[in-house]
Amino acid sequence: MNIQPDSTTRQTFRRLRSMLMFLLCTAFLACGSLTAAEGVSPQDVDAFADKLIAAVDDSDIAAFNELIDWNGILKEVCRLPESEKLDKARKDFKVEFRKATKTKDSICGAIIGTVGLGGDYAMVHTGTEDGRPFALFRLILPDNGGVNFHKYFLVRGSDDVVVAGDMYIYLSAEPLTDIFRRGWVPLARQILGDSDENAEQFLKNVEDQGKFFDLINKEMNEEALKLYEEFPEEIRQEKTILIARMRAAQRITPEEYAKSIQDIKKYHPDDASLDFLFIDGYLLQDKFEEALQCIDKTRESVGGDAYLTLMRANVLTKMGKLEEAITALKEAEEEESDLQSVYSLGLDICLAAKEYDMTAAYLTKLEQDFGYTWKDLTTVDVFKDFTKSPQFEEWLKREKKK
């Protein structure tokens, strides 16, 4: 191949950046340059979470970036293979990366942008895993369009500031270091003259892979699937490519979506991300028991979460198990009483179960705490039975007194 290292490095990184935009915002590694995780206290973890939330609320990409040790992550990603011949490629890779972290299309910018469009980014847990302190964040897409989880593993940097040494993305069930390493290693092997067919195919198609993820991010789904079919077989079977293809297929036809799910199962049957990935797929196919199993396994994996409990309540409602649905809804409210989705999505569950005391309480909660305003509910079909209830009359009296 006659691709110059500088050009290949830029193309490889663009592909990775577009891929991360998809992985972070669509829906589990400490780095060698950092000090031991034992130096991070629970108070440090809480302080990190507060700073991250403040950076997102302020739309401050620079402040967000300061909370992630990109230099340490890149050092770990590019550590192997060990060869002085790779010094320039390492430098180019890191330069391209650091440039991109400062833009709205960066990892931090993507999260901030999603929240700016009406999404929600909140810490749901802190703890330790294999001795490593972490802060688990949940990203809810605008209009409750999906959920993803990001687990930040925290370390104390060389300047004694607690930062994220890596981030585990639940959608793909892998940390950032592994994602970026998949882009770095083929490039390094090519430069060293030790490339195999898979690495060559990756580099040969790296520009088109970047285009593919860009199309997915722009919801140009038919164009994305057409490009997918043009990839070599090795690229079509790559996990992240398959996940992106599944998302595009979901927006086109149930048949395409079902086929994309089967291919992920076929090529990655034991992957840790499958339970999380297939929740929507099972729901679209009305396979409610399977969806519940996936939700419950994901809840266990993240250590419990109100939004996942709410999803469970929604599935139980679809199954006609209304008493169980209300129990799950109450559990979600207990887990996170200030989560708007509990009340906005919970209204439909309450109405389906004819739990009108809860319906009235949720209407009031949404109005008082989340700025909702209500028009004449007697003109809204979904509230038809509720408006004939004594609970509605009491709620209406309180409204008129305001």
Domains of the chain are: 5-197 (3.10.450), 205-272 (1.25.40), 305-402 (1.25.40)
- Rounded Cα distance between 87 and 80, Å, is 11
Q: At what angle do helices 340-353 and 322-335 cross, to 10 degrees?
A: 160
Q: Pick from 172, 135, 117, 118: which is nearest to 50 by CA? A: 135
What does the buried/exposed string (b/e) look like for 23-51 if buried means 16 or more CB atoms within 10 Å of the residue's CB? bbbbbbbbbebbeebeebeeebbeebbeb
Question: Residue-wise pLDDT tens for the chain (402 aa)?
Answer: 333 445 566 666 566 566 555 655 554 222 233 344 457 999 999 999 999 999 999 999 999 999 999 999 999 988 888 889 899 988 888 888 888 788 887 889 989 999 999 999 999 999 999 999 999 999 999 988 889 999 999 999 878 899 999 999 998 888 989 888 887 888 888 888 876 777 677 777 878 888 898 898 888 999 999 999 999 999 999 988 998 899 899 889 888 988 998 899 899 998 878 898 888 888 888 999 999 999 999 999 999 999 999 999 999 999 999 999 999 999 999 999 999 999 999 999 999 999 999 999 999 999 999 999 998 999 999 999 999 999 999 999 999 887
Question: DSSP string covering 272-326, please?
Answer: TTHHHHHHHHHHHTT-HHHHHHHHHHHHHHHT--HHHHHHHHHHHHHTT-HHHHH
Q: Pick from 260, 226, 259: which is nearest to 246 by CA? A: 260
- The pTM of this model reads 0.85
Q: How much is the pLDDT for 260?
A: 92
Q: Which helix (H) or strand (E) holds 364?
A: helix 356-370
Question: DSSP string covering 209-270, please?
Answer: HHHHHHHHHTT-HHHHHHHHHHS-HHHHTSHHHHHHHHHHHHTT-HHHHHHHHHHHHHH-TT
